[in-house]
């Protein structure tokens, strides 16, 4: 039974899954758009919104928390200097999830995750 177990496993070990999420959040913030499977996009959405919220707070401790999750310092700089100020008036919902249809090779449901 997996009662009260939140999150998707995605057929990966916990360390592999965490690395996948970190890479996808980094790429989403770098390119402001990401095409991936629906399940991955739904998991990454919350993590990306948490990073943008850290960027909105803008203090040094928040920058260090973001750097602990996102490896690329250039992406963290972009998050705090460009992306977060855009959402200063917004209280949440910084991303949009658009379903694209099945992937040609294995019919996996695809989605596009983008910053609003």
pLDDT of residue 23: 97
Other CB atoms within a 10 A radius of the CB of residue 114 amount to: 16
pLDDT of residue 14: 94
Contact 102, 110 (CB under 8 A): yes
Of all residues in the chain, what percent carry a pLDDT higher than 70?
100
Q: Does residue 74 surpass a pLDDT of 90? A: yes
Tell whether pTM > 0.85. Answer: yes
Residues 6 or more apart from 55 whose CB is under 8 A from it?
62, 66, 79, 80, 83, 84
Nearest to 110 by CA among 45, 51, 42: 42
Calculate mean pLDDT across residues 78-89.
95
Contact 96, 83 (CB under 8 A): no
Q: Does residue 79 surpass a pLDDT of 90? A: yes
Q: Does residue 90 surpass a pLDDT of 90? A: yes
pLDDT of residue 2: 84
Q: Does residue 12 surpass a pLDDT of 90? A: yes
Residues 6 or more apart from 84 whose CB is under 8 A from it?
52, 55, 56, 58
pLDDT digits (tens, 9 = 90+) for 18-54: 999 999 999 999 999 999 999 999 999 999 999 999 9
């Amino acid at each position: 039974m997996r009662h009260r177990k939140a999150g998707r496993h995605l057929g990966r070990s916990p360390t592999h899954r965490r690395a996948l999420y970190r890479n996808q959040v980094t790429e989403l913030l770098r390119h402001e758009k990401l095409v991936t499977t629906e399940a991955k996009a739904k998991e990454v959405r919350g993590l990306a919104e948490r990073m943008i919220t850290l960027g909105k707070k803008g203090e040094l401790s928040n920058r260090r928390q973001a750097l602990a999750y996102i490896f690329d310092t250039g992406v963290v700089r972009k998050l705090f200097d460009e992306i977060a100020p855009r959402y200063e008036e917004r209280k949440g919902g910084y991303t949009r999830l658009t379903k694209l249809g099945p992937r040609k090779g294995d019919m996996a449901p695809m989605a596009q995750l983008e910053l609003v």
